[in-house]
Amino acid sequence: MIFQRALRRELASSAGATFTVLFTIILTWTLIRILGQAAGGKVASSDVLALIAFASLNYLPTVLILTSFISVLMVVTRTYKDSEMVVWFASGQSLTAWIRPVLVFGAPLILITAMLAFYGTPWAKQRSAEYVERFAKREDLQKVSPGQFKESSSANRIFFVEGTSGQTSSVQNVFVNTVDARGTSVIVAKEGVIDVAPNGERYLVLNNGRRYQGTPGQADFQTMEFERYSMRVAAQVQELGSELEVNAIPTSVLLKTPGNAARAELLWRISLPVTCLILMLLAIPLGFVNPRAGSSANLIIALLIFFTYNNTVKVVEASVKQGKFAFGSAWWPLHLAAIIAVVVLFAWRMNVNHRFHPRHMLASFKRKKVAA
């Protein structure tokens, strides 16, 4: 039908604009957060773009759910405001006739949400964890950023350099403070390079510097100058991915993993496409607005419903993770209640002339009050 084709085109246009706004907000917030981590030395500056891409992929299912919900709601609200819904009803169509074009529009979004929830998001979280872990397990000197004090992995040594050259294998104007069984020692040098011994161990070789041992003013305080000084650089074993967070485990592995945490994560992944479907259907009766009204609070109500629904799913997930509920009896009641709410809301909007409809009950109450 012409109505349905025009409706699908408008839904697609609204979804494109809504997705652009929401994704831009998420991308900006992610960019600020990861740049802050890079500035604080928690992640490598060279990994910023990859980490932003992985984080954006993690948020994409939620963005798609909210996009589909708001898009349908805005289109339905506009048709009421512009009195196009009157034409829709006058042509013999009911409110339920919106379900088919909305589902045709939303089917790709539901499918993409499901693919991201079961495959894309776990992969992105796994890759992001690998990048962070790889940076955390780098050698002490590779963690050093010019102009920043950095603690060694053994927590007994502090490095400071003014500059680096090459692939961070050479550093200039080095300051090293070491605390060990012999006391505190301070080493300053003009240059330092990493040297690999025949047995594979790495050493920081400092050139043209001084070493201070002990406390100034004490009898055991020592000062020495050197042309070449070597110290062993601690290096952690580069074994990545030994333990994954449950939200980074692939779905195929998650299904075989026992435990409440795995079941809770599976519940969350199932809930994402189901929530996308239910909220799109809920937006049809929820989009009602009086054409004579100058404004509508539907969008605010929709956001409250979305966050309430999403947080309730999180609460159920946490209950399964803590062992309070079993997975088989916890994943479906909330969605069933939401479906019942959709059916009730459809019936409410389609039976506006019923005597028990709130609008007629309110009008009857006002008439009785005036008569009294």
The full DSSP string for 249-305 is: S-HHHHTT--SHHHHHHHHHHHHHHHHHHHHHHHHHHHT---TT-S---HHHHHHHH
Between 353 and 301, the higher pLDDT residue: 301
* Residue 38 pLDDT: 83
Inform me whether the pLDDT recorded for 241 exceeds 70. no
Please state the rounded mean pLDDT for residues 121-140: 80
Instruction: Report the percentage of the chain scoring pLDDT > 90.
Output: 34
Q: In one letter, which amino acid is 327?
A: F
Q: In one letter, which amino acid is 329?
A: S
Choose the weakest-confidence range: 168-177, 179-188, 279-288. 168-177
Block residue for tokens 């773009």: 49
Inform me whether the pLDDT recorded for 216 exceeds 80. no
**Are the CB atoms for 53 and 110 separated by under 8 Å?**
no
Inform me whether the pLDDT recorded for 327 exceeds 80. yes
Please state the rounded mean pLDDT for residues 248-265: 90
How is residue 294 written in tokens?
A: 């100058």
* Residue 310 pLDDT: 93
**Are the CB atoms for 180 and 155 separated by under 8 Å?**
no
10 Å Cβ neighbour count for 208? 13
Inform me whether the pLDDT recorded for 125 exceeds 50. yes
Kind plus residue range of the DSSP H or E element containing 114: helix 99-115
The string of pLDDT tens digits covering residues 192-212 is: 777 777 776 667 788 888 888
Between 155 and 189, the higher pLDDT residue: 189
The string of pLDDT tens digits covering residues 56-111 is: 999 999 999 999 999 999 999 888 888 777 777 777 777 888 888 899 999 999 99
Instruction: Report the percentage of the chain scoring pLDDT > 70.
Output: 79
Task: Give the pLDDT band (50/70/90) at residue 356.
Answer: very low
* Residue 32 pLDDT: 92
